[in-house]
Amino acid sequence: ELKSLGEPVLKACPGPKCNVALQDGKKSRNLPLFSLECTSHDLQGPFPASRQPNWTLMSGRTETQILVARGGRVKVNEAYRGRADLLNYRSSPEDLSLWLLETRSSDSGHYRCEVQQGLEDTSDIVQLKVKGVVFHYRDAMGRYALNFHQAKRACETVGAQMATLSQLRAAYFDGYEQCDAGWLEDQTVRYPIQTPREPCYGDMDGEPGVRNYGMMNPQDQFDVYCYVEEMHGEVFHDPVPQQLSFQGARSHCRAARAQLASAAQLYLAWSEGLDNCSPGWLSDGSVRYPIRTPRERCGGRQAGVKTVYRFINQTVFPEPSSLYDVYCFRGACGPKDGTKTCIVATMTTPKTFEYFLRWENPKHLILQKLTFGNQVKQTGIMKV
């Protein structure tokens, strides 16, 4: 099952008619999960001493215990304390639902619920993938140059949205650090620090955590933290014999039936494994490159999406005439999941829009341009 970064509650419910409920305080939706035989008529009394449910997370070759319950008492692993629980177990011992607060990328994996009762042992497994990336974004012309409304537009222009506090906290607990104050969706200004140091102390008295400037005047200027959850297509690095200017990079992607990738798309591709030590142009005029495995001469000791700036103080994007490689984005296309609609391109401009191909018959496609926030539509016909 897919889950969004920082989403408040995951309920994984084993039982003969089980669902997983994803709840964010505003809505919830039920998805089929799996069946595990542990119904109330199997139990001897409210909390049979011999019955022991055990939840673990299997990630790669590692299996980590989340919690274990016995006799009405739930023991939670220290790493999950305050986040994981069997909320309904004490009042309804047949309900072995696992509740997990503020999901993180590191929560992705296979969850196993094992129930031991006497000599019997039964278990089942469900896979969870937490999607979404938080990233820091700076104006093209300098540090701390965005008021609140400009920050919102900046995230939208690169195909993302402003991050929430829950999303930034989830990224922090997965190791994210950035010593730059940035706007969040709630009009507060914060930044995540793993290793306190000057001038990154903030309001935490030398302790690691998410620093908080509080709610700021919307005309104040800072950077911004953006969030992107998914893309419909792929980002690819296209090495060229002779490196390209910004305009040359745009033409190169168009010739490849693609477009310049956005910063948000590159961050998502990085989170899914893209690793390349070649700086390349993106659609906002920035030059970046994704590093999954830190190595010498590839942006330092930390993994992440590295940014090339014009000046040594890490401000201002490169001159458009500068020569670099290019990262292109090609949208997914073709009938998918039995439907007749597929996304072929996502363009990030002040008027963000997407192109859809609608399959009318085997020989023609109808091209639709949908502009969000504006009543603009454009259609055409493409032969295939």
Report d(CA 120, CA 102) in Å as an integer: 34
- Considering the domain architecture, whether residues 160 and 186 belong to the same structural domain is answered as yes
pLDDT at position 97:
80
Structure confidence at residue 95 as a pLDDT band (50, 70, 90): confident
Structure confidence at residue 1 as a pLDDT band (50, 70, 90): low
Structure confidence at residue 241 as a pLDDT band (50, 70, 90): confident
- Considering the domain architecture, whether residues 13 and 126 belong to the same structural domain is answered as yes
- Considering the domain architecture, whether residues 217 and 251 belong to the same structural domain is answered as no
Q: What tokens does 165 get?
A: 């506090």
Q: Identify the weakest region by mean pLDDT among 99-108, 123-132, 255-264, 333-342.
A: 333-342
| Cβ count near 357 (within 10 Å) | 22
Query: Would you say 97 and 113 are in contact if contact means Cβ atoms under 8 Å apart?
Result: no
User: Mean pLDDT of all residues in the chain?
Assistant: 78
pLDDT at position 60:
80
- Considering the domain architecture, whether residues 204 and 161 belong to the same structural domain is answered as yes
Determine if the peptide bond prior to 294 is cis (ω within 30°): no
pLDDT digit string, tens, across residues 20-58: 333 333 222 222 222 222 333 344 445 555 578 899 999
What range defines the domain where residue 375 resides? 332-383
- Considering the domain architecture, whether residues 311 and 350 belong to the same structural domain is answered as no
The CATH number of whichever domain residue 32 belongs to comes to 2.60.40.10
Report d(CA 262, CA 266) in Å as an integer: 6
- Considering the domain architecture, whether residues 143 and 220 belong to the same structural domain is answered as yes
Residue closest to 220 by CA, chosen among 185, 181, 179: 181
Report d(CA 253, CA 188) in Å as an integer: 38
- Considering the domain architecture, whether residues 120 and 17 belong to the same structural domain is answered as yes
- Considering the domain architecture, whether residues 14 and 127 belong to the same structural domain is answered as yes
Report d(CA 163, CA 92) in Å as an integer: 37
pLDDT over threshold 90, residue 220: yes
- Considering the domain architecture, whether residues 241 and 321 belong to the same structural domain is answered as yes
Q: Which of 131, 166, 198 is the last residue of a domain?
A: 131
Mean pLDDT of 311-315: 91
pLDDT at position 3:
60
- Considering the domain architecture, whether residues 125 and 144 belong to the same structural domain is answered as no
Structure confidence at residue 364 as a pLDDT band (50, 70, 90): very low
pLDDT at position 337:
44
Q: Which of 291, 306, 330 is the last residue of a domain?
A: 330
Q: Which of 191, 206, 228 is the last residue of a domain?
A: 228
**Neighbour-count burial for 167-196, b at 16+ CB within 10 Å, e otherwise:** bbbbbbbeebbbbbbbbbbebebbbbbeeb
- Considering the domain architecture, whether residues 118 and 61 belong to the same structural domain is answered as yes
DSSP single-letter state for residue 369: E
pLDDT digit string, tens, across residues 157-173: 999 999 999 999 999 99
Report d(CA 295, CA 98) in Å as an integer: 39
The CATH number of whichever domain residue 144 belongs to comes to 3.10.100.10
- Considering the domain architecture, whether residues 39 and 154 belong to the same structural domain is answered as no
Half-sphere exposure of 277 (CA within 13 A, CB side): 8
pLDDT over threshold 70, residue 265: yes
pLDDT at position 296:
85
Domain count, the chain: 4
